[in-house]
Structure 1
């Protein structure tokens, strides 16, 4: 695939991979920061569609239980 035909997501990933090759120590710092702050895109990206559906279902059920008992 030519670089002109890349989607913005592919371009970001390619640039990120090139940066990791040039600065491996920066990857350690990035991973520490990402682990402490969290990121919903990384969470959902690591799950399958079933895992994402279960997560959404748990959040909805949790909200309903909270609304029923604590309001």
Structure 2
């Protein structure tokens, strides 16, 4: 696949891979901080619009059930 027809998601992954090769200790630091805070961008990127809708629905229903008790 040529770089001009590269999707934004593939471009992000390619750039992330290049950064990991250049700076492996920074990757270890990022992994420690990601475990503490989570990474919403990766979650949203992997789910798609249907998955995000289901996730939001589950959160709203959970909030309603929790407020009843």
CA distance in 1, matches of 2:18, 2:37: 24
Aligned to 2:19: 19
Could you list the per-position Cα deviations for residues 28-69 of structure 1 after superposition, in whole angstroms to 9, with x for gaps in the alignment?
Answer: 0111111111123434638xx88x94x555423321212323
Structure 2 segments unaligned to the other structure (5+ residues): none
Structure 1 segments unaligned to the other structure (5+ residues): none
Aligned to 1:36: 36
Aligned length: 65
- State the TM-score, normalized to the length of structure 2: 0.66
- State the TM-score, normalized to the length of structure 1: 0.65
Name which structure has the greater RCO, CA cutoff 8 Å, separation 6+. 2
Q: 3-state SS of the aligned residue for 1:64?
A: helix
